[in-house]
Structure 1
């Protein structure tokens, strides 16, 4: 993980506000930027939502896959 990457730990956030916070963080990324999402469950539904709303515009790399903590590096792909 790069020192410049933001870590967004949503484990203490209310479930209904998590996706809004994650999407606003993604929207604030510069092209080529990334953040690390920390969650208490596999965020696969978020992956599918990003795939539908941002096709080809993001990267998704698991750094840790449970059973108690999941970490995913989510990046914004630069468009040429």
Structure 2
């Protein structure tokens, strides 16, 4: 069953971020801002229409081991990644 990014999450500490609704010129800044706002133990569930591999490298370079990434869905047109803040 595919993940529906339009549905709010019920898990405490998990926050949805649907990048498809953010203007492209603001996306990376918005994503970095959202990740910076998370507290340890919180997760941002990121939804996008394409696999943002360059962005993932930038996040890894910037946050290091503080953020753990896990794909929830890697279907064409529906990429869902959980970003968990560990420290």
Across the aligned residues of Structure 1 and Structure 2, the Cα RMSD in angstroms comes to 1.4
Q: Aligned-pair distance for 1:2?
A: 5.9
Q: TM-score, with normalisation over the residues of structure 1? A: 0.88
Aligned residues: 78
Kept in 2: contact 1:42–1:66 (CA 8 A): no
Unpaired runs of 5+ residues, structure 2, are: 1-8
Partner Cα distance (1:7, 1:74) in 2? 10
Which of 8, 11, 15 is the equivalent residue of 1:3?
11
Kept in 2: contact 1:8–1:36 (CA 8 A): yes
Is 1:43 the counterpart of 2:48? The answer is: no
After superposing on structure 2, the runs of 4+ consecutive aligned residues of structure 1 that deviate more than 6 Å are: none
Unpaired runs of 5+ residues, structure 1, are: none
SS at match of 1:31: coil
Match of 1:60 in 2: 69
SS at match of 1:63: strand
Q: TM-score, with normalisation over the residues of structure 2? A: 0.82
Q: Aligned-pair distance for 1:35?
A: 0.9
Partner Cα distance (1:58, 1:10) in 2? 18
Q: Aligned-pair distance for 1:12?
A: 2.0
